[in-house]
Amino acid sequence: MESNNGKIPSIGFGTSTGIVNPEELERAIDTAIAVGYRHIDTAFIYGTEKVIGQTLQKWFKSGKLKREEIFITTKLPVMGTHQDRVDSFIQRSLSNLQLDYVDLYLVHFPVGAKSGSNNLPLRDEQGHLFLEPKTDHAAIWKKMEAQLDAGRARSIGLSNYNISQIQTVLKSARSAPSCLQVELHAYLQQRELVHFCHQNGITVVAFSPLGAPDHNKRMKGYFAQYEERPLPDILGNAVIGRIGEKHGKSAAQVALRFLVQLGVVPIPKSMNPGRIKENFDVFDFELDGEDMERMAELEMGERARVSDFLNIFKGVEHHPDYPFGKL
Ligand code: A2P
């Protein structure tokens, strides 16, 4: 998979794990690297950068992994969605990760949130974030490009942006975004967005490629008032199960392989050694034309979106920079 400044490995290890014990996360990253993942996705806001940094240092010191052999992505948090805050947030991420550069730096979300203490966004009593009134996408992008010039990022991109917002960035860009990271899975296939990105040379990275079955638990761990919601049951889908049986593969492997064959880069999360391995083991089979058609028919559109941020930012759907469509 091409990104502007090198290649992004075609599967990544997601670390938006919610609140987990650092030793458990370190063990999961160790397993991921040992079974062959060479792409780790994190974000300032996930709180996983420090553990990733420590784990990588251990691997580098052992001589079993070189910095240039692993692709690390992190993201500008919502309280940094402002041109004056890009420099300081990427420097904090690099320090957490104990790295001189990241392979990919993304603007995490097109709407900004006010900053509270402890590097976290400010929240009201119900746990909602406070919105910044407007985002200057061109000005932020200029500061993202400055990170390429400063050598802090090898490539830069966007996350959770829609087509029109990407077009705004493209119009003013000196270096076009190399990547867009969005929620994407069998029930929310984002065909128009993927087509637009591929036509513009933008690699699409899929977060929650298994439909984020742990989403409610994870969000409740961040703030107890989180309102639970029904989640897409991709792993229990009978069509996916039957395709899996045909190939001797699990539903998760079919769901991931489908994305790989669409030219999209999935970043599944797992804390379980067997499943970490299983999710990487998708390069020894191929879905045929009929399988791909059955998978395409599973599309449900917006109603399958898990991460719409509505439960996180109060009133975000009325914000001029809210990226997602209506149901
Ligand atoms: P676990 O950590 O217990 O493996 P997504 O990447 O779509 O956000 O989904 C992550 C969730 O899916 C985690 O709760 C993870 O749980 C679970 N998961 C990851 N891989 C698999 C798999 N191969 N089979 C079943 N569940 C999985």
Q: What atom of ligand 1 comes closest to residue 250's alpha carbon?
A: 23
Q: What pLDDT is attached to residue 102?
A: 98
Q: If you average pLDDT over residues 103-129, what whole number do you get?
A: 86
Q: What pLDDT is attached to residue 326?
A: 55
Give the distance (Å) from ligand 1 centre to CA of residue 266: 12
Residues having CB within 6 Å of any atom of ligand 1: 14, 208-214, 235, 250, 252, 268-272, 275, 278-279
Give the distance (Å) from ligand 1 centre to CA of residue 169: 33
Q: If you average pLDDT over residues 193-222, what whole number do you get?
A: 93
Which residue's structure tokens are 């999209």? 264
Q: What pLDDT is attached to residue 1?
A: 52
Q: If you average pLDDT over residues 262-286, what whole number do you get?
A: 97
Distance of CA 6 to the CA centre of its chain: 18
Do residues 44 and 88 make contact, with C-beta atoms less than 8 angstroms apart? no
Cα radius of gyration (the chain): 19
Q: Give the strands of the sheet with 13-14, arranged side by side.
A: 13-14, 39-41, 71-76, 104-107, 156-159, 179-183, 203-207, 265-266
pLDDT band at 262 (very low <50, low <70, confident <90, very high): very high
The domain defined by 2-317 carries CATH number 3.20.20.100: yes
Q: Is pLDDT above 60 for 296? A: yes
Q: What atom of ligand 1 comes closest to residue 234's alpha carbon?
A: 7
Residue whose CA is at the smallest distance from ligand 1 atom 4:
270
Q: What pLDDT is attached to residue 314?
A: 78
**HEC readout, 35-48:** HCCCEEECCHHHCC
Q: If you average pLDDT over residues 221-247, what whole number do you get?
A: 90
The domain locations on the chain are 2-317
Q: What pLDDT is attached to residue 2?
A: 44
* % the chain with pLDDT above 90: 77
Residue whose CA is at the smallest distance from ligand 1 atom 24:
252
The overall average pLDDT reported for the chain is 93
pLDDT in tens, 146-155: 999 999 999 9
Q: Is pLDDT above 90 for 73? A: yes
Distance of CA 18 to the CA centre of its chain: 14
Q: If you average pLDDT over residues 281-297, what whole number do you get?
A: 98
Query: What residues are annotated to the active site?
Result: 46
Ligand 1, from 275, 276, 305: best to mutate by most atoms within 8 Å of Cβ? 275
pLDDT in tens, 50-65: 999 999 999 999 999 9
Give the distance (Å) from ligand 1 centre to CA of residue 211: 9
Which residue type does 10 have? Answer: S
pLDDT band at 316 (very low <50, low <70, confident <90, very high): confident
Q: What pLDDT is attached to residue 6?
A: 60
Q: If you average pLDDT over residues 180-190, what whole number do you get?
A: 98
